[in-house]
Structure 1
């Protein structure tokens, strides 16, 4: 077997005007020079994002098919594996802020991304959204509001995900519940005979079959760090995914997957099973449904490795790390935040004083 080819992200693209490194301009298909303004188009092919046959890939243990090499810096504090472009002068983990030493980088194999959703927001857009969100927080420390203005605390990160497609065939057995109503008589508290309409459920045994194509089951390919990306912002428009081009990575950090393909596949099967259960419930109909047994088969399974964009702002307050996430495509924001003890203390004290003042004023 021939030696694997070095991943193209390792090849820096220099500006033809001044020699500086070109970086991707979010929301465009261009790479630009921050020093002289020179721009170049990213050449995007017309071919669709490539899906890889899952079974043959797993049987070959991944082999070297569609795999190349990439340089990785591993954070000793939180375990995140990050590929960092060389134009970064100071290197810190995007998750916990721990300093990273470039000389500690190691070369690893990775399954080449099949697709990428490029950043649609630039860093300034992310900072504006972060600042607005922070200013709307009650009881936030003043330090946090100051930190929201510092660009060095906010970095763009491409997150690794697996997507899985499959033709699902299944059979089920269960019960269908249909409502019906009967009139009952009863005596009220005064002994008077009354009637009321009571709902009951008639259950019928049912069996059936389901089938359909499941497209792009999205599975995170990154193990949980100190704080993972919140679910409420982990939504991207996958229709915007472009065929992978290394130029889109220029100027951003890329996290290498730590959940292997076979484990991601097992997680996708569980999600597909839930989809099958939902299809069975729809097929049963009626007012209530119970699925007692469900058997599924997956055929024509394919997968791809994709990269999705977020901005992360790391912040340390009273010896605790906090992270705030901005979706790099749609701008949604979330994160855990610290509370200022003194702001809460004085707010409570003020309320108590006002209550006492009102009490003495209205007291006869």
Structure 2
């Protein structure tokens, strides 16, 4: 458990360059090392053997620990879509990862953030992600040619660490409700021809139920950022949290990190709603029977802790006819999803071609019939 007196030095490290050539060291996905792209030098990332540190939630909600486990971070704010992004000083592409609008380096500012407690490092590299994106685009019907051209340029695919909150808690609750047990009655009826028939009709007997439940809620995952555009599809937002590593800033090298914009207090409120849904499931399981009704739940959470974690995704942004489109690749699993534009002219000419083809077939068929006479 953390205390407000804890320091941040144990979590962070100074930027390091290659000891051989001075170039930037970047994290190599799927490993625990940073490498130099120029001379091949490799350095191992030291992972904290003590594992994750869960922070006591009450201290932060009461602002007692607001400055504990925090540090200054340089940020660039996208005025177009609202994304707040941390970009390494030597990162060459100063464009928003979501909407591709230019980011002005002179607008860079610093602010405090709660240090991540854990990170799920990228498991696939940018090349693999780009090939996945390219294959997906090539399979799209009616896609504009400009989109296919964009998919040939790797600079459109960027690695991004997304911020999430995770919450742990002991849950205890008492409940009242009803247990439903199915039974069947034979019912007579007449079919459409007036014949007498029978059928089994299911009914439910209800019995009063009440009880207590308790258990540990582990790693309730709550999104910690939100913009006008670039919302991560549910299909993509699935990671194996068992692969989380204790935070080390070396895992971020060569990637963009998004700062949370949903405050801890708001994330906590959402986690309580999720805890209530979990409590409802536990109550229904405890009630048993064939079906259940839950009338009331008196829920209490204790020993609440949280982590700020970073999860990997690749983003490809594209503008077509003034509209923004995003394509996402899960940086752990390679799952892809995204919105796509349609080419009006491709669809138009396809429809015209189909009409001409039908007219031609009808004309040939009529001509064949006339010739047969």
Give the TM-score taking structure 1 as reference length: 0.95
1:52 correspondence with 2:55: yes
What's the secondary structure of 1:347's corresponding residue?
helix
1:279 correspondence with 2:272: no
What's the secondary structure of 1:305's corresponding residue?
strand
Deviation at 1:344, TM superposition (A): 0.9
Instruction: Supply the distance in 1 between the matched residues of 2:19 and 2:105 (Cα, whole angstroms).
Output: 26
1:346 correspondence with 2:349: yes
Structure 1 residue aligned with 2:223, among 220, 225, 228?
A: 220
After TM superposition, the structure 1 = structure 2 runs for residues 153-172 of structure 1, keeping only pairs within 5 Å, are 153-172=156-175
Structure 1 residue aligned with 2:115, among 112, 115, 118?
A: 112
Which residue of structure 2 lines up, in the alignment, with residue 20 of structure 1?
23
Change (3 A) 1:317 1:188: closer
Q: Is the 8 A contact 1:9 1:70 kept in 2?
A: no
Gap regions ≥5 residues in structure 1: none
1:313 correspondence with 2:316: yes
Change (3 A) 1:360 1:291: farther
Deviation at 1:8, TM superposition (A): 7.6
Deviation at 1:208, TM superposition (A): 1.9
Deviation at 1:188, TM superposition (A): 4.1
After TM superposition, the structure 1 = structure 2 runs for residues 141-290 of structure 1, keeping only pairs within 5 Å, are 141-290=144-293
Query: 1:102-128: per-residue Cα shift (whole Å, max 9, x none)?
Result: 222111000010000111111101100
Deviation at 1:89, TM superposition (A): 2.4
Deviation at 1:334, TM superposition (A): 0.6
What's the RMSD between the two structures over aligned residues?
2.0
Deviation at 1:319, TM superposition (A): 1.1
Which residue of structure 1 lines up, in the alignment, with residue 73 of structure 2?
70
What's the secondary structure of 1:357's corresponding residue?
helix
Q: Is the 8 A contact 1:7 1:69 kept in 2?
A: no
What's the secondary structure of 2:53's corresponding residue?
coil
Which residue of structure 2 lines up, in the alignment, with residue 126 of structure 1?
129
Q: Which has the larger displacement, 144-153 or 285-294?
A: 285-294
Change (3 A) 1:284 1:362: farther
Give the TM-score taking structure 2 as reference length: 0.92
Q: Which has the larger displacement, 284-293 or 19-28?
A: 284-293
Instruction: Supply the distance in 1 between the matched residues of 2:261 and 2:46 (Cα, whole angstroms).
Output: 30
Which residue of structure 2 lines up, in the alignment, with residue 303 of structure 1?
306
Instruction: Supply the distance in 2 between the matched residues of 1:151 and 1:199 (Cα, whole angstroms).
Output: 59
Gap regions ≥5 residues in structure 2: none
Deviation at 1:12, TM superposition (A): 2.4
Query: 1:129-183: per-residue Cα shift (whole Å, max 9, x none)?
Result: 0011111111111111111121111111110000000111112222222111112
Instruction: Supply the distance in 2 between the matched residues of 1:293 and 1:166 (Cα, whole angstroms).
Output: 21
Would you say how many aligned residue pairs link Structure 1 and Structure 2? 363
Q: Is the 8 A contact 1:10 1:70 kept in 2?
A: no
Instruction: Supply the distance in 1 between the matched residues of 2:53 and 2:183 (Cα, whole angstroms).
Output: 52
Change (3 A) 1:8 1:72: farther
Deviation at 1:289, TM superposition (A): 1.6
Q: Which has the larger displacement, 44-53 or 249-258?
A: 44-53
Q: Is the 8 A contact 1:5 1:69 kept in 2?
A: no
What's the secondary structure of 2:313's corresponding residue?
strand
Q: Is the 8 A contact 1:166 1:302 kept in 2?
A: yes
Instruction: Supply the distance in 2 between the matched residues of 1:88 and 1:193 (Cα, whole angstroms).
Output: 80
Q: Is the 8 A contact 1:66 1:111 kept in 2?
A: yes
